[in-house]
Amino acid sequence: MSAAQAFLDRLEERVADRRNVSGEAEPSWIAARRQAGAARFEALGFPTRRDEAWKYTDVRRISEGDFGLATNADFSRSTAAALGLPIDAIRLSFVDGLFSAELSDLADLPAGVTIEPLSQALQANHEAVGGSLGRLTGVDFSPFAALNTAFAEEGAVVRIAPGAVVDTPIVIQFLSRANAQPVMSHPRVLIEAGARSQATVVEHYVGEEKAANFTNVVGEVLLERGAILEHYILQEAPLGDSHVASLHIDQGRDSRFTSFNINLGGALVRNDLVADLNAEGAEANYYGLFFAQGRQHVDNHTLVNHNAPHTFSNENYKGILGDRARGVFNGKVIVKRDSQKIEAHQSNANLLLSDRAEIDTKPELEIYADDVKCSHGATTGQLDEDAVFALRTRGIDEQTARGLLTLAFAGEVMEQVTLDTVAERVERTVAGKLPERFNLSDLVEVSSESGADSAARSSS
Amino acid sequence: MATEEMEQLVRREYTQGFVTDIESDTVPPGLDESVIAFISQKKGEPEWMLEWRLDAYRQWLKMKEPSWAHLNYPPIDYQAISYYSAPKKPEDRPQSLDEVDPKLLETYEKLGIPLHERAALAGVAVDAVFDSVSVTTTFKEKLAEAGVIFCSISEAIRDYPDLIKQYLGSVVPKGDNFFAALNSAVFTDGSFVFVPEGVTCPMELSTYFRINAANTGQFERTLIICEKQAQVSYLEGCTAPQRDENQLHAAIVELVALEDAYIKYSTVQNWYPGDEDGKGGIYNFVTKRADCRGDRSKVSWTQVETGSAITWKYPSCVLRGKDSVGEFYSVAVTNGRQQADTGTKMIHIGEGTKSTIVSKGISAGNSDQSYRGLVKIGPRARRARNFTQCDSLLIGDRSGAHTFPYQEIGNSTATVEHEATTSKIGEDQLFYCRQRGISEEDAVNMIVNGFCKDVFQELPMEFAVEAEALLNVTLEGAVG
C-alpha cells in the first residue's frame, strides 16, 4: 500500500501548506469530507486488474508515479491561445488544476449564468456549494473519486438559472504544463441546470506537448425539470498525461442530456460516465469517439440507470486503434424494476488499424422490467474492402481511400456534434493522426475551406 | 384473460417429480481424503487415479467459491453433502436390459423414455446413469465393430488407462475453477467416448442422467475424444425427481477434437427447478469445454436449458487448430424463481478460426437470467471471425434479463460482431394470432418457439421435438 501512502503523505503536506498560507482552517465540513475521502482511498488503495471495473486497465502509470502539486498558474498567453478552442465562448481556465484568471474570460456573462472557480465559490458562500458537491459522486464510487475528494480544492461551478437559454458555449479549459516534476490535479466540475434552461458546456483538456501530469476530475451535473444540456469532453491531453475522469448526471423530468466524449490524447485515459434518469421523460444521449495510437490506453465506462418509466437512452461509441494502442469500452444499461416503457439502445463499433492494437468491449444490459425495448451491438473489424474497392474504381488511390473511410467511420459520431469548431478540430486531428501514408490533413483542410467559401457565397 | 387458469398452469407441479425406491449404497455426508479414497476404491481405480483425485482435492481446499455470477443462493455446505451413492450391489451390475432392476425400468417408463423402446426405435445406444453408476450400456457391440469406445468413465479408467492419462483433465485442468476441482476430486461417473481416426460414429450416442437419492450431489465427468477425421454426435438429457433439499450438481465435460474431427454435443436439461418459492431445486454448476486441437476441427454445442434452480454453465471452445470452428446454440428458459447465468467462451488462437454464438433467453415469472460470454481473439488468430447474437424475451414484469458479453480483440484482421436485443412478446404479434382464433397460450408458445427456431434447428430430430414440448410446459401460464 506504499503507492497509496505516498499520495496520502502528499495530501498532508498540502493541507499543512494551505493552513500556513491562509492562516485559518478550512470549514469543518470540507475538512471532514477530505478526511472521509482519504480514509476511503486508504482502505481501497489503487484499483488492480483483479477489480472487475479495472479488468483491462492497469493504473500503475499513476500509482507508481511521483506527482507534486502545482503552486502557481503561470501559462503563456500565446500558447494558451494556440491550444485553446478558437470559439467565441465564456471561458474558465485552469492550469495544472489551479485557476487562471488571466486566461479566463468571464466578462459579460449572459443573464442567468453564474460561473465561478470552486475556490471562489467556497470563499463567497461555502454552504451554498456544500449541498450539491459530492452529492452524486461519493467517495465510494471509485478509489479515484475518493482521492479526488481528499485533494479537491479547485474546479468549476456553473449554474444556469431556470428558464435561461445560453447560446454562447461555456468552455472549461484544463491546461497541462510541461513541468520539471510532473504534477497531479484533482479538479471538480459542478453544473446545475435550472428548470427549462438550455446550455452547452465544453470540458477541454489540452496541454504542452512534453507534459506528463495526472489529472483526476470528478464532474457532477444536475438537470432539473425540462433542462437541456449538451456536454462535451474534448480530451486532447498531451501524450504523456494520465487522465482519469468521472461524470455523474442526475436527470429530472423531461430533461435531456447529450454527451460527446471525444478522446484523442493522453497515455492512460479512463472515463466514467453515469446518468441517472430519475423521472419520466428524461433522455440521455451518449456519443463517443476515441482514437488511440502508439501505446495509448483509452478506457471508457458508461452507465445509464433507468430509474423511472418512460425514459430513453441512446449510445453510440466509436473507437479507432492503431499501433499498440489499447481501447476498452464498457457500456452498461440498467433498467430498474417497474421502470416500464423504456427504450435503451447502445452501440459500439471499433476499427483496428494494426495487428498489435487491442480492443476489449463489453456492452452490458441489466434489465428488471418487461415492457422495454433494449438493444446493444458491438462490432470490431477492419475497413470494408468492398468500400475501398468502390473508391478505387473511381480513381482514388488506395491510401486515400482508406483514409477517407476511416474518417467516415469517425464521421458517424461527429455528425451529431453541433459545435462546428469542435467537429472540424476533431476531424482535422483524426486525419492528422492517421498513418503518414493516409496523408489526409490537406484534404480536410481544403474541404473545410471550400465549405467555408461556399457558405460565404451563399450568404452573400 | 383467464388469469386463474394461467395461475393454475403456472402452479403446475413438476410432472416428472417422483422418487424411485431403490436402496442406495451411500457414504455419510462430508468430504475429506478418506471419502475420496472410498470413492476411488469403490470404483476399483488404480493408485495413480487416487493420487490424481487427491491432488484435485488439495487444490480445491485452497480455492474460493466464485461469486461473480449474477446469482443469489444461500451458501452451500459442502460438508453436508454425501459424495457417493450407487444402486445396491454394484458388483452385481446387470449385464443386459432384462437384468435391470424393474423399478429402474419403471422410472424410465414414467419419464416416457423406455430404455428398450428407445434403444430399438431410435437406434440410440444408451449409457444410463442412474445416480452414479452406469447401469447398462446397449449397442456396445455395434459400436465396438466400428472401433468406437463408449463406456462409463470408471470403466475407461480401468480398461483404457493410457487414453485417460493422456486426455483426462487436459481440457479442464484439475484446478481450473472451484467446481471443476471439486468434481475432479469426487466424480463418480459419467461417459467416455473415443472415436478413432477416420470413423464416423454409426449412431447418435446418448446418456440419460438422473439424480435420485436425496442429499447426494451428482458429479459426472464426460470425456469425448475424436481422432483425425472422426465424427460423433452426443446427446445428454436430464430430468430429476422432486426433492426438498437442494441438490448440488457439478459436472465436467471435456471434448477433444483432433484434425478434421467433428463433435456435436447436445443437451436438454430439465432438472427440478424448485417449488414456487424457489425451494428445493437443483444447483447446476457445470464446466464444459471443448479443445479444437486439430486444424479444421469443429465443435458444436447445442443446449436447451429449462430446469434447475441455479444454472452456472458456460460451454466453451478453445479454437487452437487452424481454421477450426466453434458453435454455440442455446435456448434457456427460466420461470418461477429460477436463476441462470449461462453463456459461452470462444477463445480464438489459431488462424482463420470461426465461431458462431446464438443465444436465446426467455425469462418469465420472478426469474433472472444472464448471458455471460467471452469472445477472445488472440494476436495470432488472423482472419478470425465471430458472430454473436443474444436475444432475450421477457414475460412478466418481475423477471430480469441481463447480458454481459466480453470481447477481447487483439488482431486487426479479425471481424467480431455482437448483437443483442431485449424485449417482451410483441402485443401486435399476440393480437395478430388472437384475432385468427388462436388462444393466447398457443400464441405465446408459437411466438416463443419461433423466437427459438434458430437454435432448435440445430438439435437432433428427436431432441428438437422434446425440446419444443419442454418449452411449452415450462412456459405454460407464464403470460398473464
B9 closest CA partner among B480, B479, B477? B477
Is residue A338 within 8 angstroms of chain B, CB to CB? yes
- B180-197 b/e (C-beta count within 10 Å ≥ 16 → b): bbbbbbbbbbbbbbbbee
Question: Which is more confident, B104 or A231?
Answer: A231
Question: Which is more confident, B400 or A201?
Answer: A201
- Distance of residue B387 Cα from the nearest chain A Cα, in angstroms: 9
- Distance of residue B357 Cα from the nearest chain A Cα, in angstroms: 14
Residues of chain B with Cβ-Cβ distance to A357 below 8 Å are 410, 412
Closest partner residue to A363 (CB to CB) among B397, B405, B410 is: B405
A36 closest CA partner among A119, A128, A147? A147
CA A284/CA B316 separation, integer angstroms: 36
- Distance of residue B398 Cα from the nearest chain A Cα, in angstroms: 6
Q: pLDDT band for position B125 (50/70/90)?
A: very low
Which secondary structure element, helix H or strand E, spans residue A125, and what is its range? helix A118-130
Cβ B406 vs Cβ B398: under 8 Å: no
Closest partner residue to B410 (CB to CB) among A358, A367, A373 is: A358
Cβ A262 vs Cβ A289: under 8 Å: yes
pLDDT at B326 over 50: yes
Residues of chain B with Cβ-Cβ distance to A355 below 8 Å are 379, 382, 411-413
CB contact under 8 Å between A378 and B405, yes or no, is: yes
Q: Which pLDDT value is given to residue A438? A: 57
C-alpha cell at B332: 434457456
Q: Which pLDDT value is given to residue A162? A: 95
B326 closest CA partner among B361, B360, B362, B302? B302
- Distance of residue A368 Cα from the nearest chain B Cα, in angstroms: 4
Note down pLDDT in tens along chain A; length 460 residues: 467 888 888 888 888 887 777 777 778 888 888 889 999 999 988 998 888 889 999 999 999 888 888 888 888 888 888 899 988 899 999 999 999 998 998 888 898 999 999 988 888 888 888 778 888 888 889 999 999 998 888 999 999 999 999 999 999 999 999 988 999 999 999 999 999 999 999 999 999 999 999 999 999 999 999 999 999 999 999 999 999 999 999 999 999 999 999 999 999 999 999 999 999 999 999 999 999 999 999 999 999 999 999 999 999 999 999 889 999 999 999 999 888 899 999 999 999 988 889 999 998 888 888 888 888 888 888 888 899 999 999 988 888 888 888 888 988 888 899 998 898 888 888 887 776 555 555 555 544 444 333 333 333 3
Please report the sign of the dihedral spanned by the C-alpha atoms of residue B234, residue B239, residue B240, residue B246. Answer: positive
Of A432-441, A447-456, B220-229, B268-277, the range with the lowest mean pLDDT is A447-456
Closest partner residue to A360 (CB to CB) among B392, B407, B417 is: B407
Mean pLDDT for B307-315 is 87
Question: Which is more confident, B24 or A184?
Answer: A184
pLDDT at B211 over 60: no
**In whole angstroms, how large is the CA radius of gyration of chain A?**
22
For chain A, the helix, strand and coil percentages under 3-state DSSP, each to the nearest 5 = 30, 35, 35
Q: pLDDT band for position B4 (50/70/90)?
A: low
CA B109/CA B115 separation, integer angstroms: 8
Cβ B440 vs Cβ B409: under 8 Å: no
Which secondary structure element, helix H or strand E, spans residue A200, and what is its range? strand A198-207
Q: pLDDT band for position B423 (50/70/90)?
A: confident
CB contact under 8 Å between A357 and B68, yes or no, is: no
Q: Which pLDDT value is given to residue B5? A: 53
Q: Which pLDDT value is given to residue A241? A: 93
Helices A28-44/A2-22 angle, 10° precision: 170
Cβ A190 vs Cβ A156: under 8 Å: yes
Residues of chain A with Cβ-Cβ distance to B410 below 8 Å are 356-358
pLDDT at B255 over 90: yes
Strand partners, B424: B394
pLDDT at B116 over 70: no
Conformational region of residue B89, where left means phi above 0, alpha means psi within -120 to 50, and beta covers everything else? left
**Mean predicted lDDT score pLDDT of chain B:** 78
Closest partner residue to B412 (CB to CB) among A56, A353, A363 is: A353
Cβ A4 vs Cβ A63: under 8 Å: yes
Q: What pLDDT, in 10s, does the model give residues B369-399?
A: 999 999 999 988 989 999 999 888 888 788 8
pLDDT at B13 over 80: no
Q: pLDDT band for position B410 (50/70/90)?
A: confident
Residues 6+ apart with CB under 8 A from B351: B322, B323, B380, B381, B382, B383, B384
Of A34-48, B78-92, B216-230, the range with the lowest mean pLDDT is B78-92
User: Percentage of chain B surpassing pLDDT 70?
Assistant: 75
CA angle B10, B16, B18 (to 5 degrees): 120
Cβ B127 vs Cβ B156: under 8 Å: no
Domain positions in chain B = 3-475
CA A89/CA A109 separation, integer angstroms: 10
- Tell me which DSSP letter residue B435 carries: T
Q: pLDDT band for position B106 (50/70/90)?
A: low
Cβ A186 vs Cβ A157: under 8 Å: no
CA B458/CA B453 separation, integer angstroms: 9
Residues of chain A with Cβ-Cβ distance to B401 below 8 Å are 365, 367
A95 closest CA partner among A4, A1, A183? A183
Q: What pLDDT, in 10s, does the model give residues B157-180?
A: 888 999 999 999 899 998 888 999
Question: Which is more confident, B330 or B42?
Answer: B330
CB contact under 8 Å between A361 and B409, yes or no, is: yes
CB contact under 8 Å between B417 and A376, yes or no, is: no
CB contact under 8 Å between A367 and B392, yes or no, is: yes
Q: Which pLDDT value is given to residue A169? A: 94
CA A290/CA A350 separation, integer angstroms: 9
CB contact under 8 Å between B420 and A371, yes or no, is: no
Closest partner residue to B395 (CB to CB) among A360, A370, A372 is: A370
